[in-house]
Chain A
Amino acid sequence: MNENLSVLGVFALLSVLAVGGGAAVLPETKALVVESHHWLTDDQFRDIYGLGQVVPGPNMLMVIVIGYHVTGYIGALLAFLGFFVPAGLISWGASRVWDHFEGSPWRRSLQRGMAPMVVGLMAAGTISIARTAIDGALTIAIAIAVFAGVYFVKRVNPALLVLGGGLVGLAFLS
């Protein structure tokens, strides 16, 4: 079915665009999945992103759930392969040639120049999720509390804070 090919294509594209990691590619993921292909609503996207937060490993494993929503288990597999294999191959190849540029001053320029762009992309990713996830006093309060916990209290496990946010939501919103 064509929809399977779309899933593979969309996530393979996102894979090679994901410079700077998962948060950096969030706005583009949302644009393609919600706005271009209408595979999910805004709220579903936020919910599925939330699922990615409560499991271990990279948050972007949530692409599996997006694929599942489109064409079931095959979509889940294709989204996983599409999102991880192209970037994985690039990394694999690059790490084999990278050491040849050990002394190149351009290597430093590359790392130095990319750093602020990646921070900008991560900030844009945060904004993209916030637009759907922040919609009132309670969600603002949860976000600020978790921010303070992660930023100022280094010893706390971030996953517990995220789960705590879920419990607060359950207690006050249901």
Chain B
Amino acid sequence: MSTPAPPGPGPAASGTSTASYAVPRDVLLWEIFLTFLFIGAVSFGGGVVAYLRAELVLKKRWLDEEHFLSALGIAQALPGLNATNMSIIVGDRLRGVAGAIIAFLGMTLPGGTMVLVLGVLYASNAHNPYVNATLIGVGAAAVGMLSAVTLQIGRKQLGSLIDITIIAVTVLMVSVLHISLLWVLLTVGPAAVLIYRPRRQDGATGPEPSA
């Protein structure tokens, strides 16, 4: 491909050249399964992407930084969770459909089994005051964590008035007006992409509709 790659992503790319990189094609299926099973079993507290990067890019070197970010871009722009979308995309690149399925199962099996066990226990202890008290604490903690993660991801956007407006309109539609998510996606999504549509004069992505 003739993509003029922008200069390296931020600090210290540890000297590994990305130019001559190719996705390995001979990775064994069980190795894919075990790798994703490991990530699925240790990635506590959300933030699965950080664990994925540590294993796939830094440890196994199945992907370089650029391929990883490209896969992440797809995972984020499409429906579904980053963690499972990423495992499907990476599994597919390594070993096709079988790799995708194996990676997905590895990623979801540990957490899925554990949450089911907890869910069955919860159903039979629904009125236990200790269980309720603990889960009230966990729920409050989850709010703190979600706010922190949202702010971490959104911090970059808070410097732009247009981005702040898009964020505010989205929150208003969902949280205040209770408009169905489908309509939010169908209105805010295209509008936001149009605002950032490609400009004829290169460079400047800053919107300044000279209608």
State A168–B133 Cα separation when bound (angstroms): 9
State A54–B44 Cα separation when bound (angstroms): 7
Q: Which residues on the A side are within 8 Å of B24 (C-beta)? A: none
B83 beta carbon closer than 8 Å to chain A: yes
Do residues B145 and A162 form an inter-chain contact, with CB atoms below 8 A?
A: yes
Cβ 8 A contact of B189, one of A22, A51, A56, A117: A117
State A87–B189 Cα separation when bound (angstroms): 18
Q: Which residues on the B side are within 8 Å of A5 (C-beta)? A: none
Q: Which residues on the B side are within 8 Å of A102 (C-beta)? A: 1, 3
Do residues B111 and A56 form an inter-chain contact, with CB atoms below 8 A?
A: yes
Q: Which residues on the A side are within 8 Å of B85 (C-beta)? A: 87-88, 91
Do residues B44 and A56 form an inter-chain contact, with CB atoms below 8 A?
A: yes
B78 beta carbon closer than 8 Å to chain A: yes
Distance in angstroms from B151 CB to nearest chain A CB is: 6
Tell me whether chain A's interface is mostly helix, strand or loop, or mixed: helix
Tell me whether chain B's interface is mostly helix, strand or loop, or mixed: helix
State A121–B182 Cα separation when bound (angstroms): 12
State A53–B154 Cα separation when bound (angstroms): 21
Q: Mark A125-164, 1 if CB is under 8 A from B, else 0.
A: 1111110111000111011111111110000011111111
Do residues B167 and A123 form an inter-chain contact, with CB atoms below 8 A?
A: yes
Do residues A147 and B144 form an inter-chain contact, with CB atoms below 8 A?
A: yes
* Chain B interface residue bracket vs A: 35 or more
State A30–B139 Cα separation when bound (angstroms): 14
Do residues B123 and A116 form an inter-chain contact, with CB atoms below 8 A?
A: no
Q: Mark A106-127, 1 if CB is under 8 A from B, else 0.
A: 1011111111111111111111
B175 beta carbon closer than 8 Å to chain A: yes
B20 beta carbon closer than 8 Å to chain A: no
A3 beta carbon closer than 8 Å to chain B: no
Q: Mark B95-115, 1 if CB is under 8 A from A, else 0.
A: 001001000100110111011
Do residues A110 and B80 form an inter-chain contact, with CB atoms below 8 A?
A: no
Pick the interface stretch among B8-16, B27-35, B54-62, B195-203: B195-203
Do residues A162 and B142 form an inter-chain contact, with CB atoms below 8 A?
A: yes
Q: Which residues on the B side are within 8 Å of A170 (C-beta)? A: 130, 133-134, 137
State A133–B140 Cα separation when bound (angstroms): 5
State A60–B151 Cα separation when bound (angstroms): 20
Do residues A54 and B138 form an inter-chain contact, with CB atoms below 8 A?
A: yes
Cβ 8 A contact of A91, one of B74, B122, B126, B164: B74
Q: Which residues on the B side are within 8 Å of A84 (C-beta)? A: 80-81, 84, 104, 108
A27 beta carbon closer than 8 Å to chain B: yes
Q: Which residues on the B side are within 8 Å of A139 (C-beta)? A: 136-137, 139-140, 143
8 A Cβ contacts from B50-85 to A: 70-71, 73-85
Cβ 8 A contact of B139, one of A47, A127, A151: A47
Do residues B194 and A113 form an inter-chain contact, with CB atoms below 8 A?
A: yes
Q: Which residues on the A side are within 8 Å of B114 (C-beta)? A: 55-56
State A14–B118 Cα separation when bound (angstroms): 23
Query: Which A-chain residue is minimally distant from B197 (CB atoms)?
Result: A109
Q: Which residues on the B side are within 8 Å of A90 (C-beta)? A: 78-80
Do residues A174 and B45 form an inter-chain contact, with CB atoms below 8 A?
A: no
Do residues A87 and B81 form an inter-chain contact, with CB atoms below 8 A?
A: yes
The 8 closest A-B pairs by CB, nearest first: A169-B137, A165-B141, A120-B170, A87-B80, A57-B111, A158-B45, A146-B144, A159-B44
